Amino acid sequence: ASPHAEGRVLEIRVMGYGSGQFLLIARDITRVRQLEGMRKDFVANVSHELKTPLTVLQGYLEMMQSMAEPGSPNVKAMEQMQQQTNRMRSMVEQLLVLSRIEDSAEINLEVTVNMSHMMEILKEEANALSHGEYELSFYSEPNLHLYGNELELRSACSNLISNAIRYTEPGGKVDISWRKVATGGIFSVTDSGDGIAPQHIGRLTERFYRVDNARTRQRGGTGLGLAITKHALSHHQSELMITSELGKGSTFSFLIPINLIESDINTDKVERL
Ligand code: ADP
């Protein structure tokens, strides 16, 4: 390698044209990577810096709310302010999670995640979020564990569940499952909610991409959940699969490949030994 190439990042693509012909394209992406790094640092720093003023604002707001005359016009205004500061707080927190998760290119895939335990926690969370207004169904394959990062996986699963509830009218159905298949383990969330038009599906994991802004904003959310989910899944050799029909509902799922699955009842493994 030439000394000029030191510290530079090259992207190399090889395209085959059949009959033994190849095209090799090398692109210097050092500057692109630098800018990307600066953007990430900037977002992480700003999010971090916003946390303190937000906490102070929320503290004073709570104090003012407790002193306000019941029924006065200020009460309504303060409720609005409380809602908006809460929204800002979740955004700041999610931006920090996203920048952390984007930064860690690799994670330790040696640690066993007890999925049965995690599914119990997710079930409790789903029950709390649904306020008894949804028909929830839950299935968890027994003894089907995996290698990975529990926090990241939990945040991926929680995002899918909270979205299913958020984008489904009360009275609707949400099915959550973790099952064994021949190629691995599938986590899946199906709702009977709004559904998504096909042109949006490919863009849902982009930061801040939201289908119908006015409506989605009303329902809370930050527009960052699926971006976080995508990164968490890529750390587990997996990706998000989305099928949806407008007005009927959606299924968000992901497959954890068999090499990351640890199953007490996995006879394949026993045979291989
Ligand atoms: P948000 O915080 O807005 O929910 P997400 O990144 O989690 O952000 O989701 C991005 C967008 O994808 C949402 O704003 C919503 O428009 C759409 N979406 C996500 N999940 C569902 C779902 N289960 N049903 C319908 N739309 C969904």
Minimum CA distance residue for ligand 1 atom 1: 223
Per-residue DSSP letters for 162-194? HHHHHTS-TT-EEEEEEEEETTEEEEEEEE-S-
What is the pTM for the complete model shown?
Answer: 0.83
ipTM surpasses 0.90: yes
SS3 256: strand
Assess whether the C-beta atom of 250 lies below 6 angstroms from ligand 1: yes
pLDDT in tens, 136-173: 999 999 989 999 999 999 999 999 999 999 999 999 99
Assess whether the C-beta atom of 193 lies below 6 angstroms from ligand 1: yes
pLDDT in tens, 76-114: 899 999 999 998 999 999 999 998 888 777 777 778 999
pLDDT in tens, 168-217: 999 999 999 999 999 999 999 999 998 999 999 999 999 999 987 666 66
Minimum CA distance residue for ligand 1 atom 20: 163
Tokens for 22?
């190849």
pLDDT of residue 108: 75
CA–CA distances in Å: residue 233 to residues 101, 123, 134, 149:
10, 20, 27, 10
Nearest atom (ligand 1) to Cα of 210: 14
Assess whether the C-beta atom of 189 lies below 6 angstroms from ligand 1: no
Nearest atom (ligand 1) to Cα of 223: 8
- Yes or no: say if 52 and 36 are a contact pair by the CB < 8 Å rule: no
Residues 6+ apart with CB under 8 A from 109: 147, 148, 149, 235, 236, 260
The helix or strand, by DSSP H or E, that contains position 69, with its residue range, turns out to be none
Assess whether the C-beta atom of 178 lies below 6 angstroms from ligand 1: no
Nearest atom (ligand 1) to Cα of 227: 6
pLDDT in tens, 13-65: 998 888 888 899 999 989 988 898 888 888 889 998 999 999 999 999 999 99
